[in-house]
Amino acid sequence: MSATGPIRGAGHAPSEGNAAAPAAGEGSPRGAGRPAEDANWQDTYRELVATAAQAVRRIRPGQRVFVGTGCGQPEELVHALVARGRELPDTTIVHLLTSGDAPYADQALAEYFRVNSFFIADNVRKIIQEGLGDYTPVFLSEIPRLFASGQLPLDAALIQVSPPDSRGMCSLGVSVDIVKSAAENASLVIAQVNPNMPRTLGNGFLYVYDIDVLVPTDTPLIEMHAPEPDAETRQIGEYVAALVEDGSTVEFGIGAIPQAVMPFLMDKKDLGIHTEMFTDSIIDLIESGAVNGSRKTLDNGKIVASFCMGTRRLYDYIHDNPQFAFHPTEYVNDPFVIAQQHKQVAINVALEIDLTGQVCADSLGTQFYSGIGGQVDFNRGAARSPGGKAIIAIHSTARNGTVSRIVTRLSPGAGVVTTRGDVHYVVTENGVAYLHGKSVQERAIALISVAHPKFRARLLKEAIEAKFLRPELADIEGKVVIGPKEFRTTHLLSDGTQINVRPIHPTDEPATVDLFYALSRETMYYRFMSHSKQIPRKEFQEYVFIDHRKDIAIVATIPEAHREDIIAIGRYYLDEKTNLAEVAFVVRDDWQNRGIGSFLLKHLATIAKRNGIQGFTAEVLRANRAMQQVFLNSGFKVHSEPSEDVFSFRIHFA
């Protein structure tokens, strides 16, 4: 605490940016009516000003020193601290995640500096994995409580801020997150004051007299250049984006996959953003017109975040920009706040997931790799949001395709970050698996379906051995497949009802059973030419486990509250000797005579022609006049031949 300044927090402007930070410029043009930067701040607060070397002289051996987050890391202060490292034995460096250099994480300095990280970045991973540093697994939303309660007391906080404005308020800029709480609870606060730090609006301001030492600097902020996503990452992004509805509020977790989602959201409408962090890619998404926040429940119209990591382009974009509101982690990551948002979608990543749905996101076996971060906060919040979706995205393989990330059992020592009870959607480059409320068998099949094809047979065998799957499912090897996305389409019925058409999925077995047992005896007879009241389970398996090459099956669905209802199935079976495929349909009774069968026939014909198939064959009972009309009115060249009580149809596409 400064000997010359007032007591921290006493009698100063509220931290919510209401008086001191004039309501973050709510709704006004950029910069309008806001206090100007104090150009002479070094004279105004000369009693607080010091060099970096002078400032860190106030840190003593054995203390806990917090270092600011991400691209807001105060590098000059860090290097000054390390320069006197041999005078500071048993010093603990506490941080969330830092970019740039971490010179304190050097094996040669291990007896002086001990790293304790809430999230492991590249710059400290080696020292932690060697056992010379610590990792504290904790939900991001709960870290500020550790500081405030004294459970993890902080002796000093090294942070970076913008220059004070005419009211004496400094912005934490690109990193508000847990930095604000650290600054409010540390005994000594040293701030690197940098005119390159953008002034971000919201609740990320500190009063200048709540800072003990001001260290002037004029150095570029750390920049993070996101790598260009590869084809697999883009495919995951496309699948994830398809789950985001118009009007949703979106969170983008850290990593390449969440950022790869953004280009596929540009045709959406009325999106909102409530996220712990973002990168440069948010700019193009905003400028596409997809984001306006108009349907957000809280912070309507605002893009809410706690930190960002990017380039100068991003820092200039967010500077004094009233569209953005930066808030501390205890607000942004609060699951109860997240749950109130309209259709909150949480997009987070994993390192490994087992066939029951347990997600490991912070370690590779016993080696700690990253951290819990905000995954659980946002996953649980989104799951409870009205219309929300909790999504875990993961590449299906690692180590250049030699290892499956979807496994029967997690690697020994791997920690569960998101439990099997918390998982909803799992997305890989091979498709989407929905797990919530599903049995272990349904989960295993769904996850094997989105695993890499070369690992599916082994996963199937291991799942049967683990008693996750019934033994008779050994016969489906090679058929745990999700059909190509090109098979997907929609169809508008004459009454305006939209039905979705997609390939049948291995997890559709329960819904297929429901469909067939909902059929009338007449429809059952027309479809199967039998009066049997029971269909063997193996026959249902033959419907859903297909290779989508010689056998094609598509379903027409309508959305229900917690799942899709299958109302019709269309399928063909290729006879490679004739290059003709036998085609068959079934439509639920309450959806018959509405053109669904005709649409399914045309869609299957489109797929068949793309695969070089010459035409269809079908057997139709004489009494089934409706199906006869579907074929006769198809627009293709149709030949029918009667025999006793059956018509044999041959349909040529050319």
Catalytic center residues: 276
Classified as helix, coil or strand, 321 is: coil
CB–CB of 326/305 below 8 Å?
Answer: yes
Cα–Cα–Cα angle for 576, 554, 558, rounded to 5 degrees: 175
Segment holding 318, helix H or strand E: helix 312-318
* CA pair distance 429, 284, nearest whole angstrom: 24
* CA pair distance 486, 590, nearest whole angstrom: 28
Residue linked to tokens 């930095």: 179
Segment holding 541, helix H or strand E: helix 537-544
329: left (phi over 0), alpha (psi -120 to 50) or beta: alpha
Helix extents (H) in 211-289: 231-242, 256-261, 281-287
Measured in degrees and rounded to the nearest 5, phi and psi for residue 399 equal: 50, 55
β-strand 615-621 against 580-587: which pairing, if any? parallel
Bridge partners of 348, per DSSP, are 392
Cα–Cα–Cα angle for 154, 160, 161, rounded to 5 degrees: 120
Bridge partners of 553, per DSSP, are 571
635: left (phi over 0), alpha (psi -120 to 50) or beta: left
Token code pair at residue 162? 């913008």
Helix extents (H) in 5-150: 41-44, 52-56, 75-83, 122-129, 143-149
CB–CB of 182/203 below 8 Å?
Answer: no
Cα–Cα–Cα angle for 294, 300, 304, rounded to 5 degrees: 115
Count Cβ neighbours within 10 Å for each residue of 535-563 and write b for 16 or more, e otherwise.
Answer: beeeebbebbbbebeebbbbbbbeeeeee
Closest CA to 606 of 501, 500, 505, 487: 487
* CA pair distance 102, 222, nearest whole angstrom: 13
Token code pair at residue 545? 């486990």
Bridge partners of 575, per DSSP, are 580
* CA pair distance 636, 618, nearest whole angstrom: 14
Q: Measure Cα distances from 523 to 515, 547, 648 in Å.
A: 11, 27, 19
Count Cβ neighbours within 10 Å for each residue of 462-474 and write b for 16 or more, e otherwise.
Answer: bbbeeebbeeebe
* CA pair distance 69, 397, nearest whole angstrom: 30
Classified as helix, coil or strand, 218 is: coil
How is residue 496 annotated by DSSP? S
* CA pair distance 297, 645, nearest whole angstrom: 62
Residue linked to tokens 């199967």: 528
* CA pair distance 606, 592, nearest whole angstrom: 22
400: left (phi over 0), alpha (psi -120 to 50) or beta: left
Those residues with Cβ within 8 angstroms of residue 108's Cβ, 6 or more apart along the chain or in another chain:
none
